[in-house]
Amino acid sequence: MTIQLGDVVPDFTQKSTEGDISFHDWIGDSWAILFSHPKDFTPVCTTELAEVARLKPEFSKRNIKPIALSVDDVDSHNKWLGDIEETQGSAVNYPILADADHKVSDLYGMIHPNANDTLTVRSVYIIDPNKKLRLTLTYPASTGRNFAEILRVIDSLQLTEYHKVATPVNWENGDDCVIVPAITDPEEMKKLFPKGWKELKPYLRMTPQPNK
């Protein structure tokens, strides 16, 4: 199954390290990040799970719930949790889905036969409170995910969701933004962007970040 940006993500009920999870109910009114792993006791994934635990306060600030997935069972996950805390110094503080039956992997198209016909690829899904997919990233097994970039994208998604702006190249939280081309009425622009704007071209107008 291929999920496109803007699609409502598939719902499911699956076991996890924090009990059974009905995904849409679990998300509730929050945003969510679902990230998958090929199997337990893999080195790169061990470092990633710990990093997400360390970043949990940053996700919470953004009303984001993190949840991981690996294609082993809960008993295996629980053993792995001990290794993660021992080697990385951070205890995992969010659920890891057990997907030994590949139910979730198949629903989300996480298995790419040309990469490996049995293991999930290392995917990231950002999901909004309406359960719609807002971003997907897929990493090779050899490259650890950059969660600073993932947080940057979340900041952009949430900013542009609630304000009529887009974020330009290499944007960081607090930088100037682009006024979306659909806004053309000067009076509306004054109301929306009281800090003013700089017009470089009629289609390229920069304004201070509205929520700062």
Written as one letter, the residue type at 137 is L
Contact 139, 147 (CB under 8 A): no
Active-site pick, 21, 27, 34, 45:
45
Amino acid letter, 198: K
C-beta atoms surrounding 127 within 10 Å: 25
The C-alpha atoms of residue 50 and residue 204 are separated, in whole angstroms, by 41
- 7-11-14 Cα angle (round to 5): 145
**Can 45 be counted among the known catalytic residues?**
yes
Contact 48, 15 (CB under 8 A): no
Q: How far apart are CA 26 and CA 34, in angstroms?
A: 12
Say which DSSP state 117 is in: S
Alpha carbon distance 41, 43 (integer Å): 6
Q: Which residues are annotated as catalytic?
A: 45
